[in-house]
């Protein structure tokens, strides 16, 4: 199925709005499901990504690199709730690349910063510069995957 560039931008904007509009409730949802259940969900999302990419690409070297990257994320980012940035912004980066190519990285950076500014304003969230970097890195990784043609 071919999607027009306009529709790709619409999809990206809708996804972005979902990310930003849900900010007040994400922490409450995480607290409700708990750290252990949340950690299991995060692990399943990452494992599902690796398995899905393998089934889609059949590129074993890519899967090894992706697995190493995920292991590094789990080492460098100790809190399970923080690891979601890479998935959330990886999807955004992929959508952004499909809509606007490399230039759309500016969009991903801007949304990552706006995301944290909104969190700084919300009473139940905090502004964290590390989160901005995780948003940018996650978005960049999504764009790299899209740009290399590894994920269509």
Contacts within 8 Å (CB) and 24+ apart, 60-65: 62/150
Span 7-25, pLDDT tens digits? 999 999 999 999 999 999 9
Q: Where are the alpha helices (DSSP H) in 2-147?
A: 5-21, 23-33, 35-57, 60-76, 84-100, 105-121, 129-147
Indicate the length of the chain as a whole number: 152
Measure CA 32 to chain center: 22
Domain segments of the chain as ranges: 5-35+80-147
The top-scoring range by mean pLDDT among 85-94, 109-118, 129-138, 139-148 is: 109-118
34: left (phi over 0), alpha (psi -120 to 50) or beta: left
**Residue whose tokens read 């692990």:** 43
34-38, 124-128, 145-149: which is most confident: 124-128
Other beta carbons less than 10 A from residue 23's beta carbon: 16
- Alpha-carbon distances, residue 36 vs 41, 42, 119 (angstroms): 9, 10, 24
């Amino acid at each position: 199925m071919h999607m027009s560039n306009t529709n790709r931008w619409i999809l990206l904007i809708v996804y972005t709005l979902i990310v930003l509009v849900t900010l007040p409730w994400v922490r409450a949802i995480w607290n409700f499901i708990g750290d252990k259940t949340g950690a299991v969900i995060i692990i399943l999302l990452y494992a599902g990504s690796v398995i899905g990419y393998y089934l889609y690409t059949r590129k074993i070297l890519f899967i090894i690199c992706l697995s190493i990257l995920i292991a590094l994320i789990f080492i460098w980012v100790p809190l399970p709730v923080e690891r979601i940035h890479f998935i959330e912004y990886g999807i955004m980066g992929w959508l952004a690349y499909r809509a606007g190519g490399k230039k759309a990285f500016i969009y991903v950076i801007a949304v990552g910063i706006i995301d944290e500014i909104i969190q700084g304003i919300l009473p139940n969230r905090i502004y964290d510069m590390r989160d901005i970097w995780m948003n940018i890195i996650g978005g960049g990784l999504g764009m790299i995957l899209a740009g290399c043609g590894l994920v269509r």
